[in-house]
Every structure is written in structure tokens, then in C-alpha cells.
Amino acid sequence: MCFGFSVYFGLDNTKEENIELLKSAYKLGFTRIFSSLHIPEANYEVLKTEVKDFFKLAKEYNMDIISDISPNTFKFLELENMDLKGLKELGVKTIRIDFGYTVEEISTMSKNDFDIGIQLNASTVTKEFLEELDKLNPDYKNIDALHNFYPRVNTGISEECMIQKNNLLKDCKIKISAFVQSNNRKRSPMKDGLPTLEDHRGIEVKVAANHLFAIGNDGVFIGDSLPSMKELEELSSLNKDAVELRIKLKTGEQTCIELLKNIYSSRTDSARDAIRANESRLLLNEKKIKADNTTDKKYGDITIDNSGYFRYMGELQIVLSNLKEDERTNVVASILQEDLYLLKYIKDGKRFYFKI
């Protein structure tokens, strides 16, 4: 449930633009599409004619169409309320519960025979709701969660709120996604972007998505109407299971440069002064590391121990304190200032990699 985009029929884009977006995203490995079928500003006559053609092509691509639903949505689609079979035939694979359904109805829908997933609103779930749902023995393998996006400036949720909601959902082993905004074509009528976190309003797609993955989200959707090809490409290039850290090289030592190209996990016995990589010493393959740039170290520097440290040769660390020079340790790179905030999330086995 990694990467997704959004489509709003009868609003900003032409039918041709939506189809081209679908084709481009599919080629880049996007697997999910969020669609809303009850936007007040949408042209519903246009919407009706576009939905079925778009859904048909998405179904051919085996992409997961998510539709937020309410009893009114079924009426619009000319289906009986809770007619999951009818939704399945249209190509909808996941329904996001918007309003109008009880906990009992949500639990019942999760046990459907049509392989339709149920998506909760991650931004509004409460401990009490999840406890009540759990008592009804829902089919959790059919349930995931997606945070809201927030069209109005200053209404996006805080990081603290997101982490608190995510922890509740993770206790139920429910996977979670959230939205980032596009800076290409922002959705009407506000056109202020559709992020989940207020901190992400106006931020680049890749930067915002990397942050969402760092704090434990499993998937990211672009919320706005028409992301650029660059935004689609940059989002699809991210590793959702590891934090990307942009760096500036400070060494020409080739073995060190090669070590910087791997994905690492942080040790669970966290050191006071550094993030220590679990795997770096094991990747040397009998190569030797020569002393190079053994200067003082500051917060955000990346170091690799050279042959002077004997069995610690190859030890890769991200420095968390200002430290004196040591001829046994090479300063090989520095994390860019804009990415230093990500270091607080790299602990307890969290994976990370470097972007030169």
C-alpha cells in the first residue's frame, strides 16, 4: 500500500488529463487511487460520464480504487445502500468510510465476500471507537486507514496528533496512509494544497512524503488534482521502509563512498553521541579503509572508522554531538541542513539510506 494519487471527476481536470495521469502513475508503480464522489463543487453531470470509463481502465491495470462513501454515494451510483457487489463491478476495491455508518455496519462490511477493503479515517479514530470495533470481531486483514487532507490553511493536523492516531491503529495492526499536496495543480476551490500535516503545506512532495514514512506511515497519496511528472517520479523513487537522508560528500576514499550506497538499520542499543549502523562493518569484504579527513566532528556528520580502529574498521555513524578529531575516524559526509530534523526518528532499528 505504498504510493497513490487522487482524482476528482467533474472538477479541475479534463477526462483526458485524468486518464493520462492514471497511465503515467501506473507506469511508475503507483498502485492506489483515491477518489471522492461527493465534492459539493463538482459538476455531477460531467462526473457521471467520466467515472465509469476511468474506473474501467484502472480495473484493467489492477489498481486499487478507493472511494469515500456515504449513503448518498450509493444513490449517486444508482446502487442500493451498502451494495458492495455493485461497487466491485464498477472497479472499486476499497471503500473509505466517510459518515453515516455505525460501528456494527463497518464491522459487517469488513467481512464481505467481494474482496472489498474497508478504510477508516485515520485522523478521527479514537481509542473508544477501536475498542468497540474490536469487540465486534471485524476482519482486520480487510481494514486499513487513511488520514484526512485539509483544504483550508491552518487546519491540517499536527505531527503529534498523527503519531498518536497512528499508534492507536498500529496496536490493531492496521496499516496507515496520509496525504501530501502537489504544487503543480492544486484542487479547487481553495487551491491551497491538500496535505494531512499542516507542516507540509507548500512543501515539496518528496520531502513531505519522506517525513511521513519516517514517522511510521505505510503509504503516501498525493492529494491535489494534477501532480507533475517530476512529483510522481520523485515520490515513486522513495523507499517507504527507510528514511532518505540527503548528504554532501567530504571524502574521496572509495571504500567509504561505496559504503554510503547501502541501506542501514540503526542499532537498538542507542549510543549517546551517534546513530550507529548495524551492518556497515559486515559489508567491507576484507577491504581496507585508509585514513582521510580525520577532522573534528559536528552534529549531522557521517563518519566511518578507518583501519586504525582495528576490528571497528567500517563502523558507520551519524554524529549527534560535537566531537573532537580522532585519527582513527574519517569524516566522510554531512547531512544537509534541511534533513537534520529526520535524525530524531532514526532509532530502535529504523532503516536509513543516503542520497548524494
320 in the same domain as 202:
no
CATH number, residue 291: 2.40.100.10
Q: Tell me the pLDDT tens digit for each residue of 35-73.
A: 987 666 666 676 777 888 899 999 999 999 999 887 777
Q: What percent of the chain has pLDDT over 90?
A: 84
Please check whether residues 18 and 133 belong to one and the same domain: yes
Q: Are residues 229 and 252 in the same domain?
A: no
Question: Does residue 259 share a domain with residue 224?
Answer: no
- 133-186 pLDDT, tens digit each: 999 999 999 999 999 999 999 999 999 999 999 999 999 999 999 999 999 999
> Is residue 331 located within the same domain as residue 203?
no
C-alpha angle 236-117-97 in degrees, rounded to nearest 5: 100
Instruction: Kindly state whether residues 163 and 208 are assigned to the same domain.
Output: yes
Give the predicted TM-score (pTM) of the model.
Answer: 0.95
* Average per-residue pLDDT for the chain: 94
Of 196, 216, 240, the domain-final residue: 240
8 Å CB contact between 5 and 30:
yes
* 255 class by beta-carbon count within 10 Å (0-12 exposed, 13-18 middle, 19+ buried): buried
Q: Are residues 229 and 177 in the same domain?
A: yes
pLDDT digits (tens, 9 = 90+) for 103-129: 999 999 999 999 999 999 999 999 999
The pLDDT value recorded for residue 42 is 62
Q: Residue 195 corresponds to which cell in the numbers above?
A: 496535505
SS (H, E, C) the chain: CCEEEEECCCCCCCHHHHHHHHHHHHHCCCCEEEEECCCCCCCHHHHHHHHHHHHHHHHHCCCEEEEEECHHHHHHCCCCCCCHHHHHHHCEEEEEECCCCCHHHHHHHHCCCCCCEEEEECCCCCHHHHHHHHHCCCCHHHEEEECCCCCCCCCCECHHHHHHHHHHHHHCCCCEEEEECCCCECCCCCCCCCCCEHHHCCCCHHHHHHHHHHCCCCEEEECCCECCHHHHHHHHCCCCCCEEEEEEECCCCHHHHHHCCCCEEECCCCCCCEEEECCHHHHCCCCCCCCCCCCCECCCEEEEECHHHHHHCCCEEEECCCECCCCCEEEEEEECHHHHHHHHHCCCCCEEEEEC
- Cα separation of 171 and 174, whole Å? 8
Residues 28 and 123 in one domain: yes
Cα(294)–Cα(223) distance, integer angstroms:
46
> Looking at residue 197, which CATH number applies to its domain?
3.20.20.70
188 or 48: which carries more pLDDT confidence?
Answer: 188
Same-domain check for residues 81 and 130:
yes
Q: Are residues 146 and 173 in the same domain?
A: yes
Give the cell for residue 324.
573532537
Q: Which pLDDT tens digit goes with each residue over 320-343?
A: 999 999 999 999 999 999 999 999
pLDDT for residue 96 is more than 70: yes
Residue 80 — pLDDT band, cuts 50, 70, 90?
A: confident
The rounded distance, in Å, linking the Cα atoms of 349 and 333 is 22
Range of the domain at 112: 3-240
pLDDT at 76: 72
Judgement on whether residues 288 and 175 belong to the same structural domain of the protein: no
Helix axes 127-135, 103-110, angle to 10 degrees: 60
Q: In the structure, what pLDDT confidence band is assigned to residue 90 with cuts at 50, 70 and 90? A: confident
What is the model's pLDDT at position 44?
65
Q: Kindly state the average pLDDT of the residues 243-265.
A: 98
Domain final position from 240, 272, 295? 240
Does 248 lie in the same domain as 236?
no
Q: Last residue of a domain, which of 218, 240, 262?
A: 240
Domain count, the chain: 2
